[in-house]
Amino acid sequence: MNITDQNLQIDGIDKKILRALMEDARTPILEIARNVGISGAAIHQRLRKLEKSGLISGSKFIINPKVLGYTTMAFIGIYLDKAMSNPEAVKQLKKIPEVLECHSTTGNWSVFIKILCKDNAHLLYLLNKEIQSISGVLRTETFISLDQQIDRQISI
């Protein structure tokens, strides 16, 4: 692995390690080592270098929100009255646990969020009582996701 001018170069072994862990982060290091053909210590060393480079960070479990009763995914474009309202609006959006992502965007909206709700009534409540009541929010435009057809990370 070489780091040059902020461009990280990874070799075939790094790619095999990353692919195995992206498929299942709980894969034992020794199992990966056997499959790749190097020692467990070498795997640990490579992982430390990849973490230090910033390419990887931690691991996580994926929770199925439907099991918890969250069935409505929506994307909301938020129009703000002025650019200076952005920091405070984002601060208020962070307080809403159903807001999963928040992006500053180009185009029509000032902010674009991804939100997860139990149902349409829950979405309506969040729109009317939580999001549209934030100071600086002029209006919103909501898109309900019918089905997530692709969910992946960048290919390694």
CA distance 100 to 94: 9
- The pLDDT-based confidence of 156 (bands split at 50, 70, 90) is confident
Domain 2-53 coded CATH 3.40.50.300: no
Contact criterion met (CB below 8 Å) for 1 and 10: yes
CATH code of domain 65-145: 3.30.70.920
Q: What is the mean pLDDT of residues 5-32?
A: 89
The percent of residues in the chain predicted with pLDDT above 90, rounded, is 86
Question: Where do the domains of the chain lie?
Answer: 2-53, 65-145
